[in-house]
Amino acid sequence: MPQTLDEILNSHRTHRPVVMGILNVTPDSFSDGGRFLDAPAAVAQARQMVAEGADIIDVGAESTRPGSARVGPDEQIRRIEPILPELTKLDAIVSIDTTIAEVAEVALDAGAQIINDVSAGRDDAKMFGLAASRNAALILMHMLGRPKTMQENPQYDDVAKEVRDFLAGRIKAATDAGVKRNRIIIDPGIGFGKDLEHNLALLNNIGVLAELGAPVLVGPSRKRFIGEISGRADTSERLGGTIAACLASWRGGASIFRVHDVAAIVQALTVARAIEEKDKKRRRTDDG
């Protein structure tokens, strides 16, 4: 059964996995660019992901792949407006993936309930005020630099600590602007200004981020680091690595997983949770 927004925002306490399906209505996203730019194809894909168990549909009209150029609000709105009425009828929460408040407002007006801002409120000073006034859930992500240049030799002294400190600062900025603390989700930004070692360090230190007390979202789906490890250049051949990254980060404390391949990730997390619950029951019996 799809989860409510309150259940999603409490997932870090219940440890119940939440799956967010990616819907890119763009011509240039790194894995599926152009496939769902047409409105009927986008709606059909959203329906398929909900049927496969997605709790959230995250729709975005601007690619943030490395080297991508910006897309203005008018074009983003033109891409999402035809599909939003159909998406909000589905049995899932709708999230809008944008850094522009004007675009987010259009989506919220149509029934979206989550703003997924990869700039963590840095691109548009109006974003936090909008989220606060509409009581929308807000995803704050870490990104080093901008998509156009973020993969040009990223450097950190301690990536987990630096990402944690950045997110702590953005949480404070959001709450100072009126966003409720319990409406915030954090995302370490896998692949956003990180090389292979940075991504692995973050996935291995989710607990450091979880200390901030917000649900942790991870988005490793089909990303470059999986190809670098596995030797798979074709993004469609990175499902196994995506599953591994999701399971490892779930065991580390992440609870929301932004992915392309919904059915496989739902199945993997469902089985992993069943195994964990069985072990917890055994330990309770032994202790009793």
The catalytic position among 65, 170, 194, 223 is 223
Q: Which residues sit opposite 185 in a β-bridge?
A: 139
Which whole number is the average pLDDT over 211-235?
96
Quick check: 147 and 67 in contact, CB under 8 A? yes
pLDDT at position 145? 76
Number of other CB atoms surrounding residue 280 within 10 Å: 11
Q: Is 126 in the active site?
A: no
Reply yes or no on whether the pLDDT at 1 is more than 90. Answer: no
| Contact by Cβ (8 Å): 99, 138 | no
Active site residue 278: no
CA atoms of 17 and 215, how far apart (whole Å): 11
Higher per-residue confidence, 128 vs 32 = 128
pLDDT tens across 130-185, in order?
999 999 999 999 998 777 666 778 899 999 999 999 999 999 999 999 999 999 99
The whole-number pLDDT of residue 66 equals 72
- The CB density around residue 84, as the number of other CB atoms within 10 Å, is 21
pTM as predicted: 0.92
Q: Which amino acid is at 17?
A: P
Q: Where is 162: in which H helix or E strand?
A: helix 159-176
Measured between its terminal Cα atoms, the distance across the chain in Å is 32
Check residue 84 and give its pLDDT: 96
Nearest CA to 214 among 15, 9, 19, 20? 9
CATH entry, 5-287, from 3.30.300.340, 3.20.20.20, 1.20.1440.230, 3.30.450.20: 3.20.20.20
Torsional class of 193: left (φ above 0), alpha (ψ -120 to 50), beta (otherwise): left
Residue 45, SS3 per DSSP: helix
Q: What is the mean pLDDT of residues 220-243?
A: 96
Residue 282 has pLDDT above 80, yes or no: no
In this prediction, residues 181-192 reach a mean pLDDT of 97
pLDDT at residue 26, as a whole number: 85
Catalytic residue among 65, 183, 222, 258: 258
